[in-house]
Structure 1
């Protein structure tokens, strides 16, 4: 008799477990759904879906995220008020593949005691409140400029779960629309841009398959010790080499691989920013490269190395890193209308204002080594105030000088008659930045800052010239009709 009751009890318990409520964790998808859409289109559809449900959005620093404002209150079974918001995160898998995750965030805030009539429930609730952690900050229900209530400091637990129903609705919206049939005359065909240069001119990264091991092919030894949110890393270079932009590209990739938001600063005029932004959002095809190079900066009569093919390749590498999902962007921080200290003051202002808006970004700023000095004055201008001098109050400022082996680069200089001439020039390092050729990139910290203020060295190797970008992929010609000399590493160093 007792055995039969035990069997019945076990059976009832089994049925109860089988019909127990599923937890949010058990409803997580086993696989992520990949949209065959650019992330920008998928996020735009998500925004539209949430707006149709009455949600409004807050600004976010990450362009791959959406955050709605708190919506509520709604009454729960207890005296607490429930507020809801949505967090949307996007992941770029390729230029036309993306993943979108939608999280529903809920927060409970204390309600009004007057609404409670059962005093025993009130006493029990107040006892639980007495035993819980007190306020860390006072409740602030003041309205902000947008006349929405700030609820960040309300007490009560916050919970976030994947909203699979909304994700399903988004999937249907993006992938269940009627098929489009294209017949002659019903669609205006967009004008196809055509390349204006020979095929061998163009960078070909846009048609390469992403490396299976990730976009970062080379690591910079010693860089990981410097990386942290809020870092400003200024790198002084000799303009016109292939190696400096290449190693800086490795550093940017390595920083972006950690998940940090990285901003690469290049000494391009701010007037080029719109073209740069358009290029970063493009596939990087030949016609896109032509559009980028339409700016006056790339076709100046005197090309000083800031508009080299290596710099063009560095811009293209940032585009590829963004397409691979890294939080990397590029800022053209220079000006072509100011000179001397005024120019450097304008450069520094770009970074101080950006740091104030986004304090956690990692800034990697590439500049000619005159602008990276943290001390005032030069041999030709005792009153000159460099950009880095205006930024030296940053607690997280690190200035590195380029270390290299003797070689050549593209540069401009004044001849004996005072006329500006640009071409292949020699590059012989001073003893303090000299290093042998053939090593992998590395960062070396100095025991004490140098007289110019830099705190370390970034080794890039033996310098070779990078021609102006508008000349295309060319080998640098020898400086005269004499036979080209043997490679530099085959000759004894002069120091």
Structure 2
């Protein structure tokens, strides 16, 4: 979900060491801002790292919410004249955990003053070399302005949306943290009094859905039918804590079962919840049954990482409904809470391989975080890591693994802050260019000519992502966020935030 607010609400005029005047054509100037689910100091710290990696150093500024790089001298030029560049970064606090970061690229023309630097003979020699050299190969010796350059003249500044996009990828395309409860058991749940609107309503309409002209599968996933066959194993690597991915996977399960294939859905819910899940799948799915399902420790642990979302509960309920309509669908909870790293992925893979050995003709859909679904060993933070998908692919050479393709939005998840504290809540979801797609299209599968670096065979497109809150929370809607925007603009501000289809991303 695009977190966008009208530019007029958070406009800040900045003047630091000259004028940063926008020269970008009006039609290319963003009308809305990309809001990060990060405190402004964390967003600026990430920006500082990004700029330093690109060779910039910083000057001191009076405003803690501004960053200013030093002027960087060009590596080549002509006769001591050229253009210097620097960046101005402005951080804007929208709410305690929401911020906007604007990056301005500033350029200034300079005039060399090398008369006082070199003798006439030195200048003549360099001038002859310069005339005879290839301009594309000239080194910095032809541009010896150094401290003698005059930094007078007009400065021009434009929003650097490419750099802002790189920052968005850094802040919002990382891997989410999965919180493991181990052997910890939550205290018995206190009696709950939930509003009727809290409960899923599918149990009331199971019979009508079966008898309807559309049947239990109103939506199909383009490209799935070509893959379906007895014995298929299809892995889907997801971004945790979204509404869209579990819903689309439910469509895939429904479509396969409606074609007469026996289907099993593997989900990363803990194995310790199996008895409670089976009891729910055999129940009518009424409010009392939903309450009993959510009494499990996994659904009530304090740090919810997205695996226990409302959308995942909806997916479990859909499997229950499909079974109630007579379709051959099973649910396999393979999550492991008592191991970490490669050992955890090996245990999860073993659970699914045991299932496959017993049900060789079954279509097995597996939904889990995309790191677990990789088919190649090693990740950025651990070159020795062996993912679950690697083990499954060794056992089944015809296995198909799909990475998630989506449009920018937001999700629910957990992340480690710079101070090392674990925080779970709403966060941005900006796709890497190789999986990015436009919003508004129906779900589809696209196989690639060659596998990705992670080993995926193709992409599953699900649209723009929106967050699904923990299933045990009292609301599925996005909670209101404290904001510094004046109250008279609050309704206008919330419109773009809650309706991403009306306002496309700024980059």
TM range (shorter): 0.5 to 0.7
**Which residue of structure 2 aligns with residue 237 of structure 1?**
238
- Aligned residue runs from structure 1 range 135-284, under 5 A: 196-208=193-205, 209-211=207-209, 212-213=212-213, 214-284=215-285
Separation in 2, partners of 1:436, 1:296: 38
Separation in 1, partners of 2:331, 2:504: 40
**Which residue of structure 1 aligns with residue 384 of structure 2?**
383
Separation in 2, partners of 1:203, 1:295: 17
Separation in 2, partners of 1:242, 1:314: 10
TM-score, normalised by the number of residues in structure 1:
0.59
**Which residue of structure 2 aligns with residue 291 of structure 1?**
292
Match of 1:404 among 403, 406, 413: 406
Q: Secondary structure at the match of 1:331?
A: strand
Q: What is the deviation of 1:199? A: 1.1
Q: Is the alpha carbon distance of 1:485 and 1:378 closer, same or farther for their aligned partners in structure 2, counting shifts above 3 Å?
A: farther
Separation in 2, partners of 1:314, 1:334: 16
- Aligned residue runs from structure 1 range 312-323, under 5 A: 312-323=313-324
Q: What is the deviation of 1:485? A: 6.0
Q: What is the deviation of 1:451? A: 0.5
Separation in 2, partners of 1:195, 1:478: 23
**Which residue of structure 2 aligns with residue 438 of structure 1?**
440
CA contact (8 A) 1:230 1:396 kept: no
Q: What is the deviation of 1:354? A: 1.2
CA contact (8 A) 2:310 2:476 kept: no
Separation in 2, partners of 1:383, 1:484: 45
**Which residue of structure 1 aligns with residue 368 of structure 2?**
367
CA contact (8 A) 2:408 2:505 kept: yes
**Which residue of structure 1 aligns with residue 494 of structure 2?**
484
Q: What is the deviation of 1:396? A: 2.4
Q: Say which one has the larger Rg.
A: 1
In the alignment, structure 2 segments of 5+ residues that lack a partner are 1-190, 486-492
Separation in 2, partners of 1:480, 1:408: 18
Separation in 2, partners of 1:233, 1:437: 24
Separation in 2, partners of 1:304, 1:472: 17
Separation in 2, partners of 1:293, 1:403: 30
Separation in 2, partners of 1:195, 1:229: 44
TM-score, normalised by the number of residues in structure 2:
0.58
Separation in 1, partners of 2:196, 2:472: 13
Separation in 1, partners of 2:363, 2:240: 23
- Determine if the alignment matches structure 1 residue 333 to structure 2 residue 334: yes
Separation in 1, partners of 2:225, 2:208: 24
Separation in 2, partners of 1:433, 1:388: 19
1:225-281 superposed Cα distances (whole Å, 9 cap, x missing partner): 010011110000000000000000000000111111100011111000111000000
Q: What is the deviation of 1:351? A: 1.3
**Which residue of structure 2 aligns with residue 473 of structure 1?**
475
CA contact (8 A) 1:478 1:484 kept: no
In the alignment, structure 1 segments of 5+ residues that lack a partner are 1-193
Separation in 2, partners of 1:372, 1:413: 20
Q: Secondary structure at the match of 2:356?
A: helix
1:54-79 superposed Cα distances (whole Å, 9 cap, x missing partner): xxxxxxxxxxxxxxxxxxxxxxxxxx
1:275-306 superposed Cα distances (whole Å, 9 cap, x missing partner): 10000000000010011111100011100000
**Which residue of structure 2 aligns with residue 425 of structure 1?**
427
Q: Secondary structure at the match of 1:302?
A: coil
CA contact (8 A) 1:424 1:479 kept: no
Q: What is the deviation of 1:492? A: 3.8
